[in-house]
Every structure is written in C-alpha cells, then in structure tokens.
Amino acid sequence: MTSFLEGLFANTFWSAAIKVVAAFALLVANTLILVWFERRVVAFMQNRIGPNRAGPFGILQTLADGLKLFFKEQITPRKVELGIYLMAPMAAMVPAFLIFLVIPFGAPITIGETTVTLQGTDLNVGLLFILAMSSLAVYSIVLAGWSSGSKYPLLGGVRATAQMISYEAAMGLAIVPVVVLAAVTLGEGGVGAMSLARIVELQQGSFRWLIPGWFVFWLLPSFLIFFVSAVAETNRAPFDLVEAESEIVGGYHTEYSGIRFALFFLAEYVNMFNVSAIAVTLFLGGWLGPDLGLPSGLAWVMPIFWFFLKTYALLFVFVWLRATLPRLRYDQLMSFGWKVMIPLSIGWLVLFSVVMALNTFGWPFDVPEWFPWA
C-alpha cells in the first residue's frame, strides 16, 4: 500500500491530479459543513434551535437542500442574455477553487522516499496569484447582474463592482506588510517572500516567551484590516449590500434558480473559507501547532487539524458578525472603505516599512527592551 502511494505521488502528473481532485472534494464537503455550522451558530445566537432533523445534529441539512436545488426547475427569464447568464455561475466557481490550490493546509507528508506537500502548488508569487484570482471573483457578480436583464440584479451588480474594487485595494495593501516582514526575515533579497509555504515556515519559533511566532503579533493592524476587507470582499454581513434582501430583493442572483443559484451560494461559502484560510496562513501560523506527541504514523493529522481549527475560528467570527451587526448603508460602506480602511492600511504600511528599514540599517537611538519589532 505504502509503495503504491509512493509511486503515485512520485509521478508529477498523478500527484497534481490527486491534489486537484482532493482540493475540490474538500472544498465542496467543507461547504456542506460550513453552511450547517453557520445556520446552527446563528440559531443559537438568536435563541433558536436551527436545523436538527437531517442526520446527527442536522449535519446533513445542507446536503438535502443541495439535492433539492439540484432537482428544481431552472427558470430562465425571457429577457436574459443567455450565454453570459449561463456562464456567470460557473465564473463564480472557478476563481474560488483556484485560490485554494495555493494554500498549504497541512505539513508536508513523507510517504517512503517521496515528500507530498499538502498544497496544490507552491507558486513563487502565490500571494499575487491569490490577489489576482480574488479580483476575478467580481466578474461573476457583475455579469450575473447585467445579463439577467432586470433592475434589481443590475443594481446588485453595480454595487458589487464598486464595493469589491474598493475593498480589494485595502486588502492588497494589508497583505504588503506580510511580504515586507517575510522578506526581512528571510534575508537574501527576500526571495520567496510571496510563497505561502515559505510564509508558514517563517512563522515557526516564538514571538516572546511562550507566544508563538505568528505574524499576527507583529502585524495586528494588518490582520484586522485584512479581515474586515475580507468580509466586505466576500459580500458578507454587515457588508452584504450586493444581495440586500430588504432593498434589492436578492441582488445579483434574483433571477437565478435551481442549481445555478446553488453554484453562487457554493462560491460564496468557498470564498469565505478561502479568505479565512488565507488569513490563517498569513497571520495565524497556517498549519503550525503542537503535535501533542502523537505517534509518527498519525502525526500528519495534527497540522491539518490545527489549520482547520484556526480557519473555523475565523469562520465563527464571520457568522458572529452576521448575527450581530445590521447592514450598512451604501454611502457608509463606501466612505468606510475609502476614508478609513485604505488610509489606515497605507499609514500602517508606511510606518511598518520605516521600522523595518531602521531595523536593517540601524536606529538613530537606543531601542527600548520591550519594543517587539526590533
């Protein structure tokens, strides 16, 4: 058995194919759990019970809903622009799945002689790839809105464009300090500072005493800006103006039904998982964590466990926000993005870069002992 697996993963083609299929299955299965998780948590926060009939604790509820949507009639309104209307739900899925391929979700596993990384592929410019792909996500929403040929989806699409472009800027700027810190820690001209596997490795060691060396302790402002922009970028409450039921019916997916609607829904949850996973990878040490002295045959489980635990902790915050905060008004959303988030992230970037430059080239005065960035 081991030698068979080893042979399989030694072959580049099969190794890549297995990883892609595994990532796909993982994301879909994870969405099933995530939707259930969200409904249960919101229900408990609102003093309700939530789905509890299908399967143990209602965990199969999403599966049932998905099957129902799959067999429902797909209504196609007469005025749609058919080609683009059909393409938009698929365009929502593709970037969502591609992003996950560069995220390392576990420590490399050694099978015999072969080392298998638990990551689709480790791009040199992985971070740039993530930003590029997340910037493609807006297309599906805009095109769905436009091609539906109806006013509410169009309004949703226009809102989505402005919102996602604005918060993408803040998100990109929040990531830059991570690259700076990784480059400075790496030395040697900072080669590899945008590779996610390297960034996770750099977070080994400790910050102070028993606190782990996760980047969040150096870059707390970046983490907060990143997380808030990520909530806006995935169109989640309180920034879900793109699909605000009370104002524009369902926004961009008003005219979609059946499996096409389910694809948008799936993409939204995959995106939510992705941004949490990215936040965990960049700021919370990725899959790093104590291995609790498990035998070597089982030790590979622990990194995966830590990765999912941290990611679900962030996803819990997503759900918590949804259950707690009312939706913003559109002008509040835009002025928050442009007048608070972007200036904050630029200011923090400049400040952090100056501190890092002083670390490299020498301070003009003595740095106090407690200063953590020195």
Nearer to other proteins, 132 or 340 (CB): 132
Residue type at 326 in one-letter notation: P
* Cα gap 182→186, rounded to integer Å: 6
Site stretch for other proteins (CB under 8 A), options 28-36, 143-151, 221-229, 259-267? 143-151
Q: What is the DSSP letter of 54?
A: S
> Is residue 90 close enough to count as binding other proteins by CB under 8 A?
no
Footprint on residues 289-328 left by other proteins (CB under 8 A): none
Rule CB under 8 A: is residue 81 a binding residue for other proteins?
yes
User: How far is Cα 102 from Cα 288, in angstroms, rounded to an integer?
Assistant: 17
| Residue 136 found at the interface with other proteins (CB under 8 A) | yes
Judged by CB under 8 A, the residue of 80, 92, 101, 111 near other proteins is 80
- How many residues lie near other proteins (CB under 8 A)? 31
Residue 176 lies near other proteins (rule: CB under 8 A): no
- Which among 10-18, 66-74, 122-130, 208-216 is the span making contact with other proteins, rule CB under 8 A? 122-130
Give the nearer residue to other proteins in terms of CB position, either 137 or 279.
Answer: 137
Binding other proteins by CB under 8 A: which of 27, 138, 232, 341? 138
The correct pick among 43, 54, 60, 131 for binding other proteins (CB under 8 A) is: 131
Q: Which of 100, 310, 287 is nearest to 199 (CA)?
A: 287
User: Hey, what are 19's tokens?
Assistant: 């990883």
Query: From the list 33, 158, 176, 184, which residue makes contact with other proteins (rule: CB under 8 A)?
Result: 158
Contact between 49 and 41 (Cβ < 8 Å): no
Q: Is 341 in the site for other proteins (CB under 8 A)?
A: no
Which residue in 125, 325, 350, 374 binds other proteins (CB under 8 A)? 125
Q: Is 84 among the residues that bind other proteins (CB under 8 A)? A: yes
Per-residue DSSP letters for 128-197? Answer: HHHHHHHHHHHHHHHHHHHHTTSHHHHHHHHHHHHHHHHHHHHHHHHHHHHHHHHHHHH-GGGTTTT-HH
Taking the complex as a whole, the smallest distance from the CB of residue 264 to other proteins amounts, in Å, to 18
Q: Are 225 and 348 in contact (CB under 8 A)?
A: yes
Neighbours of 216 (CB within 10 A): 19
Could you say whether residue 132 binds other proteins (CB under 8 A)? yes
CB-based contact 30:311 (threshold 8 Å): no
> Is residue 184 within the footprint of other proteins (CB under 8 A)?
no
Which strand (E) or helix (H) includes residue 116? strand 114-118
User: How far apart are CB 315 and other proteins at their closest, in Å?
Assistant: 25
Residue 212 binds other proteins, judged by CB under 8 A: no
**Least spacing, CB of residue 228 vs other proteins, in Å:** 20
Characterize the bridge pairing of strands 211-212 and 206-208: antiparallel
Buried b (16+ CB within 10 A) or exposed e, 132-166: ebbbebbbbbbbbbbbbeeebbbbbbebbbbbbeb
Q: Does 194 bind other proteins (CB under 8 A)?
A: yes
Binding site for other proteins (CB under 8 A): 79-81, 84, 124-125, 128-129, 131-132, 135-136, 138-139, 142-143, 146-147, 149, 154, 157-158, 161-162, 164-165, 168, 189-191, 194
